[in-house]
Amino acid sequence: MAWLYRLVNHVSMGLGLLGTISILLMVVHVTLDVILRSTLSVSVPATLEMVTRYYLITLVLLPLAWVEWRKDMIAVEALESLMSPVLIRISDVLVSLLSAGVYSILMVATWAKAMEQFQIGSYVMSLSFPMPVWPTYFVLPLAFGLAAIVCLIRLPLLASGTAYTADSQEG
């Protein structure tokens, strides 16, 4: 099982890194566009579309599995101080199962839309430049699917009450 936890950790960290790279690319792209507009009155084609359709989608959704694995999602612990350790474990397992279910439903729903956009070859026009946008539709089911897998993989840890941190699983 340790190899599986290491694999999940590395994949989720890689997705977090892709989100970081997305930020850097977006900053460079927008900065270049602003500089070229200000100095040469030339615009980089499809800047708005790239930012909204590629960079932001990648930035927001790909690190979702990484955030789940690190247990950095929003958690409400209002009643946890009143619960016994066994009840806390049961609650954690149920929340992880529910999260995996919701992520799975979102994955299936967004997969259907991604396939639809792929089949029609969805694109947007920007300054007479046709920019394909169908690939970005596949980021959603990928992100939701990986987050669901993370929720399911950590179930044995939650059920056994084994304390873990994402950093300790790097091995």
pLDDT tens for each residue of the chain, 171 residues long: 677 878 887 887 888 788 888 889 899 999 999 999 999 988 887 888 888 888 888 888 888 888 888 877 777 777 777 888 888 888 888 989 999 999 999 999 999 999 999 999 888 887 777 888 899 899 999 999 999 999 998 888 888 877 665 554 443
Q: What is the pTM of this model?
A: 0.80
In which region does residue 128 sit, left (phi positive, over 0), alpha (psi from -120 to 50) or beta (all else)? left
SS3 breakdown of the chain: % helix, strand, coil, rounded to 5? 75, 5, 20
* CA gap 170, 133 in Å, rounded: 35
Q: Which residues pair with 131 in a beta bridge?
A: 124
CA 47 from chain center: how many Å?
22
